[in-house]
Structure 1
Amino acid sequence: MGIVVEDLDETVDFFLELGLELEGQATIEGEWAGRITGLGDQHVEVAMMRTPDGHGRLELSRFVRPAVAADHRSGPVNALGYLRVMFAVDDLEDTLERLRVRGAELVGEVVDYQDVYRLCYIRGPEGLFIGLAQELG
């Protein structure tokens, strides 16, 4: 999963608080990179985050060049295309408290789904839509 952001440092700090680990950061630029993305000559700062279980990765990118072309962060949950990413957490209430300090806002309510999961959506840094799920039992 890749997410384009404006403030890479703030977003990295947010996902560190969520429990992901920073695997590395790099600057990628030049015509060769643009051949992959179709954007031509580009300059991108990238942070690669790893989920605690080591099985998932989240690529955070900040485009220096070319300029960002569109902004989908304010789309509702039923909008087409990428909208959200969901993470499993051990303690939903504790996670929400830690993320609220970093500016996260609850969307809707925290709900129990058939006594199997506690679920909620939050708006994270820059309005990113993030789902949180705690397995019950």
Structure 2
Amino acid sequence: MNLVNNSTNSLLQTAMSSAMTRQKTIANNIANADTPNYKAKKTVFTHELNQAMDRQRMDAHLTDKRHFPFGGNSRADGARVVERKDTQMNNNGNNVDIDMEMADLAKNQIYYNTLIDRLNGRFNSIRTVLGQGR
């Protein structure tokens, strides 16, 4: 049993990486709040994209093992940055909603801190088991 490189720690690492990507995206939107024709972006976790695409995708039935799979067979981890379409356009062609971005920034910071606390708890448990924690 590997105490450090396991599926839970890997999942926490992926979630932290995705949260960092979301933080950069939000910061970029805030920095470009007054830039004419700038289109706001958002970070979407891949599983959310996969769910949306599954509603529109047909699975392929492979009749031969040499055929290439397509349709609903592919999956990826992590997060992707996509253009935000759920905000109103300003007069200058910019669609950054600064209030929404600031709220998303605070929510993402709380999420990231929660992941850090969980990872620290896991490592503290390992230290305790190994006799290093007092």
Output the TM-score relative to the length of structure 2: 0.23
Output the TM-score relative to the length of structure 1: 0.23
Q: Name the one with the larger strand percent.
A: 1
Comparing both chains, which one has the higher relative contact order based on Cα–Cα distances under 8 Å and sequence gaps of 6 or more?
Answer: 2
Greater gyration radius: 2
